[in-house]
Amino acid sequence: MAVVRVALDTRSYDIVIEQGALTRAGTYLAGYARKGRLVVVTDAHVAKAQLPRLEASLRAANVAVEPVILPPGEQTKSWRHLEELLDALLALEIERGDHVVALGGGVIGDLVGFAASILKRGCHFIQAPTTLLAQVDSSVGGKTAINARAGKNLIGSFYQPALVLIDPSTLDTLPVRETRAGYAEVVKYGLIDDPDFFAWCEEEGHKLLAGDAGAREYAIERSVAAKAKIVGEDERETSGRRALLNLGHTFGHALEADTGFSDTLLHGEGVAAGMALAFRYSARLGLCTSEDADRVTAHLKAMGLPHDLASAHVTADGATLVAHMLHDKKMAAGTLPFLLARGIGRTFLSKDVVLDDVAAFLDEDRAAAA
């Protein structure tokens, strides 16, 4: 078992990483149950795979469980399902002192966190992430959101959980594609500022995808420790430090938008292709070497992840993709910051990228890969 602390003064909380943690959930969560009850929000897939052992453990600790089950998929991060969830929580008479448990991947975590932030002006919530992407990224740091017609995660809030309970054994029930998509967020931490961790990914990453428990726990702990440190330094992206966590996301969200935020391109797959594009664009600008960009692309490709527009199933031209980027929530005074790199482990925030040049790069990159 490992415990990582997110240090945010009075809003600090622990991230507990333990194989089989859901089976022992009563030990961790009973103290958060008001009047011996916890509401657990999940989706239909996770309800079948993970909810029974969570319920059994809580009931063994004399905690009653009230499940709220939503549809699976990115489309659940919507106004309609937010309203559905809020109505369900109100019907269950959730109070400001209650804790709602988010059991699922990033969609459930983001939706439940946002609902908790606005229900009665704020109740508490606990993250119990069941996908690799949620375990290493979205469950930590307090970013909550739903999607809008204009783009991804445009309606949301910063709202920290009371606890994050990570059970790596939940990954046993995931499709390989979902685990690969989450692996992109693991690699991201090495590319931001930890070249030794990227080298570990190159050597050992295949073990994580193959289900090796030790590799999983090491990668999860190292990833959440990196994110916890950044969040503790810059919770609301005011200094620019936390913005580094968006490596690959500006390109990636544009690719997701072009594929309709659908199963054609999962979020982690979009991030993977986005990181490869960010490094190749950095090389084009002379910021990093082509060898570093090729190394990033080669690793993502070796792990079965999208690494260019074709492998991401994106057919739009550069101008269309840049138009999607204009809806990015990070736009400020008409300028879109980009995460670029001076090398592996040397990511930085650039505020002087010319979008017409980005469009030209995307068209050139597609042509070079053809």
- Which residue of the set 185, 235, 256, 269 is catalytic? 185
- For 33, half-sphere exposure in the C-beta direction (CA atoms, 13 angstrom radius) is 20
- For 26, half-sphere exposure in the C-beta direction (CA atoms, 13 angstrom radius) is 15
Give the C-alpha separation, 219 to 217, whole Å: 6
Q: Tokens standing for 122? A: 């704020």
Give the C-alpha separation, 168 to 176, whole Å: 14
Give the C-alpha separation, 288 to 280, whole Å: 9
- Strand 64-70 to 37-43 pairing: parallel
- Which residue of the set 99, 124, 242, 299 is catalytic? 242
Give the C-alpha separation, 299 to 305, whole Å: 9
Token pair 């990914």 in the structure block, residue: 201
Token pair 């939503």 in the structure block, residue: 70
249 is catalytic: yes
Number of neighbours of residue 242 by Cβ within 10 angstroms? 19
- Strand 37-43 to 13-17 pairing: unpaired
- Which residue of the set 267, 280, 299, 324 is catalytic? 267
- Which residue of the set 81, 99, 124, 143 is catalytic? 143
180 is catalytic: no
Task: Supply the angle between the helices 267-284 and 355-369 in degrees, to the nearest 10.
Answer: 100
227 is catalytic: yes
- Which residue of the set 249, 280, 299, 324 is catalytic? 249
177 is catalytic: no
- Which residue of the set 227, 280, 299, 307 is catalytic? 227
- Which residue of the set 124, 253, 280, 307 is catalytic? 253
153 is catalytic: no
237 is catalytic: yes
CB of 17 closer than 8 Å to CB of 216: no
- Which residue of the set 237, 256, 299, 307 is catalytic? 237
99 is catalytic: no
- Which residue of the set 18, 216, 221, 246 is catalytic? 246
- Which residue of the set 35, 93, 121, 149 is catalytic? 121
Active site residues: 121, 143, 185, 227, 237, 242, 246, 249, 253, 267
